[in-house]
Structure 1
Amino acid sequence: MIWTANGCFVTLAILFLWRVEEIAEACSCSPAHPQQAFCNSDVVIRAKVVGEQEVDVGNDIYGNPIKRIKYDIKQMKMFKGPANDIDAIYTAPTSAVCGVNLENNGKEYLITGKLETDGTMHITLCDFLEPWDALSDTQKKSLTQRYEMGCDCKITRCTSIPCVLNSPTECLWTDWLIEQKVNGRQAKHFACIKRSDDSCAWYRAAAPPKKEFMDIEDP
């Protein structure tokens, strides 16, 4: 009986360690409003994939090769980023470690990502990546001016009532609470913009903001 009890304990311990490893390797991140993604990214481009290959980008601390998927791209437009065009982006090989799967079929994407010290662009599932045709007109036009105007504001996601704002520079993002989806009305049609008194509020429409600001509760 003592051997069996110890055996069960060892088995449970091994299963627990496996579960910890699975959790550690899983990819998870909080959803971001498109404006947040724009402001937090080093690079924001419109592009399409023209080639794909698996490459080695170095070794880990144990000497094992680090694999990445390299997407050769054709950049259509840069909204934010370095002076030089981006001709390739890198991502992890599987979604379990936040790798992104992009289609090489002529589809154009809006892609946000980070710029590494060697000048290469890297993307993960936590970045904002959308087919260009799936974006609203407001989202497309906000990429050239409005999102940048709101980078000093903070968008606070509300998932349950009560929702609390801690500063007048915050905008309350309620898409998940009201519509049960991240890409809802506020994400598609609104930007959080700083006003003349340094407070922030949601603004709708495609033209540059003037005085037509919403009350913060309206969305």
Structure 2
Amino acid sequence: MTCTISSLFVTLTVLLLWRVSEIAEACGCSLVHPQQAFCNADVVIRAKVVAVQEVVSGNDIYGNPIKRIQYDIKQIKMFKGPDQDIEAIFTAPSSAVCGVTLETNGKKEYLITGKAEAVGKMHVTLCDLIMPWDTISSTQKRGLNQRYQMGCECKITRCPVLPCSISAPEECLWTDLVIEKQVFGRQANHYSCMKRADGSCSWYRGLAPPKKELMETEDP
């Protein structure tokens, strides 16, 4: 009896670990700096959610319905994207498959990045940058309005472990995670990676818009 219970426990443990591994693999995301998230996205908006519903978007190869969550939104501002306002955001039905959960009372405003779909629609996942608007720093807001787009020719390389270095002059080394032990540290909250006159890229921080040549930058 004891052996049977023990075997059952081992089996359940293996199944649980397999399931956790499956979920992690299904929604594996690389950490990216806000500027990189902006540059990677088709659409970047400030918006609030006013309604939500589950919808069916066709069938899979086995004939099963593909369910998605549709968030109806009120767009407040578009920083990057098509000429027409975004009216609906689609996402997977659960976090296990990278679905995003947003508040739907129409009060909370978000910064939302994602991929364009049909006219007036976009798709988001947990791998996209989605943040409550009131948590965004003033430097990040300036980046959304101009600087991030100006720096899209640069590449922000995350430092996973010290020591680390860039492999090309067009890179900025992102060290928040190893130095400050947090994703949104000083570089993520207060710096943009900008191209200089010589073609190299460097971290920039300042209250005024950056000079065109960007010959002088302030290192983090």
> What range describes the TM-score normalised by the shorter chain of this pair?
0.7 to 0.9
Which region of structure 1 is more displaced relative to structure 2, 153-162 or 36-45? 153-162
SS in structure 1 opposite 2:46? strand
Structure 2 counterparts to residues 22-101 of structure 1, below 5 A: 22-26=20-24, 27-101=27-101
Normalising to structure 1: TM-score of the pair? Answer: 0.88
SS in structure 1 opposite 2:161? coil
Structure 2 residue 183 is the aligned partner of structure 1 residue 187? no
Structure 1 residues 116 and 169: CA distance shift in structure 2, 3 A:
same
Structure 1 residues 46 and 175: CA distance shift in structure 2, 3 A:
same
Q: Give the fraction of aligned pairs with identical amino acids, expressed as a percent.
A: 65
Which string of whole-angstrom CA distances, capped at 9 and with x for unpartnered residues, describes residues 154-188 of structure 1? 10001211112110000000000111000111000
Shift >2 Å, 4+ stretches: 14-26, 116-120
Structure 2 residue 168 is the aligned partner of structure 1 residue 164? no
8 Å CA contact 1:153–1:170 kept in 2: the answer is yes
In the TM superposition, residue 83 of structure 1 has moved relative to its aligned partner by: 1.0
Which stretches in structure 2 are left out of the alignment for 5+ residues?
A: 1-6
Structure 1 residues 90 and 71: CA distance shift in structure 2, 3 A:
same
What amino acid does structure 1 have at the position aligned with 2:39? C
Structure 2 residue 208 is the aligned partner of structure 1 residue 207? yes
| Aligned-partner Cα distance in 2 for 1:58–1:158 | 41
In the TM superposition, residue 207 of structure 1 has moved relative to its aligned partner by: 2.2
Structure 1 residues 66 and 206: CA distance shift in structure 2, 3 A:
farther
| Aligned-partner Cα distance in 2 for 1:64–1:18 | 25
Normalising to structure 2: TM-score of the pair? Answer: 0.87
Which region of structure 1 is more displaced relative to structure 2, 50-59 or 16-25? 16-25
8 Å CA contact 2:176–2:183 kept in 1: the answer is yes
8 Å CA contact 1:46–1:76 kept in 2: the answer is yes
Which string of whole-angstrom CA distances, capped at 9 and with x for unpartnered residues, describes residues 64-118 of structure 1? 0011110000000000001110000000111111000001231000000001366
| Aligned-partner Cα distance in 2 for 1:80–1:95 | 26
8 Å CA contact 2:114–2:123 kept in 1: the answer is yes
Which region of structure 1 is more displaced relative to structure 2, 118-127 or 61-70? 118-127
SS in structure 2 opposite 1:143? helix
8 Å CA contact 2:87–2:121 kept in 1: the answer is no
Structure 1 residues 124 and 38: CA distance shift in structure 2, 3 A:
same
Which stretches in structure 1 are left out of the alignment for 5+ residues?
A: 1-7
